[in-house]
Each structure stands twice: as C-alpha cells, then as structure tokens.
Amino acid sequence: MQRDAIVIGGGPAGAATAARLARLGRRVVLFEKERFPRFHIGESLLPCSMELLDETGLRPALARADFLPKYAAEFLTPDGAQRCRYPFAEGLVPGAPSSFEVDRAQFDQLLLEHARAEGATVEEECQVVRFDVDSPDRVEVTVRSRDGTERTEHAAVLVDASGQSALVASRLGLRQMEPELKNVAVFSHFEGAARASGPLEGDISVVLVPDGWWWVIPLRGDRTSVGFVGPKAAFSGRKPDEAFLTEGIEATPYLAERFRSATRVAPVRTISDWSYKSRALTGDRWLMVGDAGAFIDPVFSTGVHLGLTAAKGAAHAIDRALADGRFERSRFLAYEAGMRRMVDTYSELVKGFYRPEFCELLLRPSDRLDLRRAVISLLAGHGADRFEVAWRVALFHQIVRANRRFSLVPRLEGRREAFGRLRS
C-alpha cells in the first residue's frame, strides 16, 4: 500500500494526528473537504493544550501569530455584581499557566500547514464520500475532488477526524446524542467592545443568565466573540437570529455595558443539538479523534484540547500497530479507554454546570482541601487523569448535591426558577 494512514478532516484533531504520524516517519494523507482558512467556532484554548502544541513543534508559529494570551476564566452574574476568577497559575497540578484566545480560521490553518511541513500529504477540497473498513488487510476510501472526479485510496489504517459530521459514527450507527445537553447556540463577532487591560484582557467571561449562559471571548486586536447558549425552551419559539442576539445583549446589564459602543462585524451563526458520543471510538483498522468521536459542550472550552489529546494517543497507537502489523480493535482499546475517561470527566462537569446549585458554588468556591485549586486544574485541562484532582472534583460534586437542598452558599434564585420552568 502507498499509505500507512488516511486521515479524514483537517481540523486540529486531524491535522495534529497527521503531523505526529508524519513525524514518526509514517506515510499519511489527509483529506479536507473545505479550503482553509475557513470560519470555525471554539476560539478559547486550554493551558494544557500548550504542552501538546509544543510537542508537535508548533509553538514558534503560535508566537508569530501574536494571539491574545489567556490567563484565567471568570464566571459572573448578569449584572456583574457576583463574579469569581479562576487564574490557571493557581491550579493544583503544575502546568502551563496560560493559553491563547485564537482566531480559529488562522489557528486551524497553522496546524494544517504544520502537518504539511512535517511530511503529511494534505489535499484540500477533497471530500471522502465512501469508506470501507470491512477488508481484513486494508481500508479503502472514495474521494471526490472539487471538479467532481472520484478516486479510490487505500491504507493500513483510517482516522476519522471529520468533526461534528462524524462520518464513521454516523455511517456505522454509533452516534448517541446527549439528551441532557440538547442546547442551541447563537453567536457572532463584534469590534469596539470594552475589555480589561494587561493580564486580564484575555480572560474568557461566562455570564450566568437565568435561562442559559453567555460567552465573551476577547480576540486579538479589537475583535470580541460573544454568544448565548441555552436549551431550546429558552428561545420561547423565537428564531436564534440577529434580533435575539441583539436583544439578549441589551437585556443583560454586564453585556450591555461591554458592548455599548460595539459594532457587529461577522454574520450571526447558530448551532443546535451538538452534544453526542460514539458507542465506540475504534474498530478493526480505524479510530476516531476529536469531535468525530464526541463533543460535549462549549462551556469549558474543551473541544480543541480533547482533539489534540486524542491526536497524541491515536498517533502512538497507530505507530505501534504499524510496527507489528496488527490492526484489530483490541490494539486500540487503551487509546479508547483513555479518551472515554477524559470525555466522561468533562461530561459530568458540563452536566453539573447546567444545574443552578453547581453555578452557585462556582461563584463561591471553597479553598478547603484545595477544592478550588482542583477545579482550576480541571478548567485548565491539567490533571483530568490525576488522583489528587479526581477525588477533590468528586467531593466538589458531592457538595453541589448537598447545596441543592441546604443552601450552602447564596442562591441564584432567577436561575433556579428558570431551571424548573425550562425543564418542566
């Protein structure tokens, strides 16, 4: 065969997988259906991702791109009166103290070009329209080029990094939606929004309104990403359009102040029902990485981090399989188990976030037993698989359940009322 691996999709997970395999001396081709650069949401990176990007040799390119540094995440009430900042440098587990707020079009193109530089063959505007993983000795894909012509490619292993289209999971009937996280997002970019200066400038702000939450992500220059996320019932039958976004900003005092002099400079976009998992992440001669295997929710900015983590694990698993010529699913189960643990950890965190008693504790975290520092580590991506973080986060969830009944911290009454109404 001419190829060791075929990668479907050129986003961060696919590009990082291809780059790592090429660096290991493997013959890899990546097919991306779009032409980069292209718009993508998910601009806020986690500090733990910096270590993964360093391993791929991408840090110099990131430095040249001059993305805005991100040192913390903050959670606050609609009027900004209650707020809690989580500086990543104060986490329980040592690690990178900062990351970046990025323009995903530029960031993703950097990763794709890096895969090329490492030796991977990258073909854009080439869509994989069919695949066959049933053969015992190879995988086969049919690729359609921009001009409509089709051709067949073979390799030893197939990597699905097709993002939320989840090509393999959808075709094989493995995709499972998350019923607790059937949300809708509406978002856009603005210029001229107010922001802090110095180290606080790049903080991501999560505004806890009664029926959902808003993100505010300052980007390089004068651009700011803002979006609302909530269950379908939060829209009361309205369309998630420009009018809804504008009225929501004006009705939220903290946002109204920050965006008073801002001008929208990008289309208003929406995404709905995006949270899902695949019943399997691997099979004989194939693996899923990144959003192709699972997507949780944007609230803790885990998408890119999970994709880069998956790329590292998948590349090593494939390299070992190629070394001894064995490609049955059992060869990839350790990779799958590791990714499932990470996805499950963040899924529990996200599901908790949508309950008011969880957010009440986020606004007033306890320093006892280093609980706040453990939550910081998880928000930074550090220590999701570390015992010293895991038991403290488990205890945090227990305190959240107690707070549901006993008012351990001040209530967010509006959020509690909305929670019952929206889910009734």
83-109 pLDDT per residue, tens: 999 999 999 999 999 999 999 999 999
Alpha-carbon distance of 293 to 414, in angstroms, equals: 35
Q: Alpha carbon of 372 to those of 205, 339, 392, 406: distances in Å?
A: 18, 25, 9, 20
Do the strands 213-218 and 121-124 form a parallel or antiparallel pair, or are they unpaired? Answer: unpaired
pLDDT band for 60, please (50, 70, 90 cuts). Answer: confident
Alpha-carbon distance of 303 to 214, in angstroms, equals: 17
Mean pLDDT to the nearest integer, 281-303: 93
196-241 pLDDT per residue, tens: 999 999 999 999 999 999 999 999 999 999 999 999 889 988 999 9
Residues of the chain with pLDDT > 70, as a percent, come to 99
Longest dimension (CA), the chain: 65
What are the beta bridge partners of residue 214? 207, 228
Mean pLDDT to the nearest integer, 272-291: 92
Do the strands 276-278 and 99-101 form a parallel or antiparallel pair, or are they unpaired? Answer: unpaired
In the numeric block, which tokens belong to residue 80?
Answer: 């900004």
pLDDT at 424: 62
pLDDT at 52: 93
Three-state secondary-structure class, residue 111? helix
At residue 64, does pLDDT exceed 70? yes
Nearest to 132 by CA among 285, 2, 281, 278: 285
293-306 pLDDT per residue, tens: 999 888 888 999 99
pLDDT at 420: 79
pLDDT at 273: 66
Phi/psi region, residue 222 (left: phi>0; alpha: psi -120 to 50; beta: rest), is alpha
Nearest to 211 by CA among 177, 178, 251, 271: 251
Average pLDDT across the chain, whole number: 94
pLDDT at 396: 94
At residue 63, does pLDDT exceed 90? no
Q: Does an H or E element contain 112, and which?
A: helix 104-118
With a CB cutoff of 8 Å and minimum separation 6, the contacts of 316 are: 20, 335
Alpha-carbon distance of 11 to 166, in angstroms, equals: 13
pLDDT at 62: 86
161-197 pLDDT per residue, tens: 999 889 999 999 999 988 888 899 999 999 999 999 9
Mean pLDDT to the nearest integer, 327-348: 95
List domains and CATH numbers for the chain: 5-67+102-177+275-343 (3.50.50.60), 179-272 (3.30.9.100), 354-422 (no CATH)
Residue for token digits 């909530």? 230
119-137 pLDDT per residue, tens: 999 999 999 999 999 988 9
